[in-house]
Structures are given as structure tokens and as C-alpha cells.
Amino acid sequence: MTTEVLLDTNTYLRLAKRIRPAVGCQFGQVPYVVVILKVVEEEVHRNPKLRFKNPWFDEPEFAQERLAKQTRLSAADKQDMKLVQDVLMGTVQLEIDKYTSHGRSPPGPTDCWLLAYGQIKSAIVVTDDLGMHTLAEEAGLRVWHGFEMLAKLRSAKVVDNDLVRDIYDALERNGDMTDTWRTAKHEEFKRIFGPKPKGND
């Protein structure tokens, strides 16, 4: 039984340019298969900043891959997901302080739609959004950080150490390094980057 691994927008943008092919990639003994939903495409196209920072997004190679392998939702799927999305949005509104502390943004409709897919399809959602992790924990849903997926791809020999370094270099250059990725650099990928340098707390 294959387990779907659903990428949110930022995770797709961080990984898909260098892990080829990204969508439809199968890995691990479970096995896992990487999927995306149409909302990722829509989110990038309506966000000028994302389009500017990721000009490769609409290059034919990537656009055709997404079109060919994008997960299609049935009417029943959409109806079920809408119900779960509404519950998740309500959960956020009931405890809004929990999701806005430390300068975070609360999960929005797109975030909740992706988590709803995780609920309905028993999929793992990959996101570096800490608010989504908090909400997923509340709802008992499975989520990974982007670096966790990258570590699993490395264990499955889909990516090698050089590619892990390339991805980290790209995150640094693009100013896209999150605290979780930075911490993982010297913990999850200690064999590649070595232990955390002293004095860098």
C-alpha cells in the first residue's frame, strides 16, 4: 500500500527544482509517493513575490510534470475535504493566539485544504509552516518538515550528499533558510555538515 506524501507550496519550491522528477517520485520501503494538488499552482500564480523568486516554476519541464502527475480530486473527495477544512479553520479561530504567537501566521484556507487531504487520504503533508504543524498535532494528522523528507530521500538513495549540500546552498542564497532547516543541518545531516559550530547558538 503506497502512502502519499503531499507537498505544500513552499516545500515544492524548495525541493522540486533539484530533485528530478519531484512529483510522482517513489521512495522508501513503505513505499512513499510524492504528490501535489492544484492549489499549489494557484498559490504561486497569484503571488507575484513567489513567481519572481522562482522563475523556473512555469518552465515547460516543471509545468508539464505537474500537469501530468497532479492529483485529481473527485467530487466526493472535494466534499469530504471541505467538511474537514471547515473544522480545521474553526479550530484555528477558537485558539487563534496559539497560531499567532512568536510572529507566526495562522493556517489559512489553502493550508487547511492540504491538511484535509491528509485526513481524507491518509497522506503525509510536508510543510515547514509551524502553524500547520501545531494544527496537525491538534487534529492527529501526520506531517513532516521539508528536511525530514529530504533525509528520507537520502536514506532511500534518491538524493546523495552532494545534492543535499546543493539544496542547502540554494536555501542560503535565496534567503529561504528556516530555523528548522538550519537546526537540521547539524543534527539530521551531521554526517554531511559536521557538528554545530560552537558559539552559534
Considering only CA atoms, which of 86, 79, 114, 78 is closest in space to residue 5? 114
Asked if residues 185 and 168 have their Cβ atoms less than 8 Å apart, the reply is yes
Residue-wise DSSP of 77-111: HHHHHHHHHHHHHHHHHHTHHHHHGGGPPPP-HHH
Q: What whole-number percentage of the chain has pLDDT above 90?
A: 85
**pLDDT for position 102:** 72
Q: What is the pLDDT of residues 126-155, one digit of tens each?
A: 999 999 999 999 999 999 999 999 999 999
Q: What is the pLDDT of residues 162-198, one digit of tens each?
A: 999 999 999 999 889 999 999 999 999 999 998 887 7
**pLDDT for position 15:** 95
Q: What is the pLDDT of residues 5-30, one digit of tens each?
A: 999 999 999 999 999 999 999 999 98
Asked if the model's pLDDT at residue 118 lies above 60, the reply is: yes
Rounded to two decimals, the pTM is 0.93
Domains of the chain, CATH where assigned: 3-147 (3.40.50.1010)
**pLDDT for position 199:** 61
**pLDDT for position 200:** 55
Q: What is the pLDDT of residues 55-97, one digit of tens each?
A: 999 999 999 999 889 888 999 999 999 999 999 999 999 999 8
Q: Which residues pair with 106 in a beta bridge?
A: none
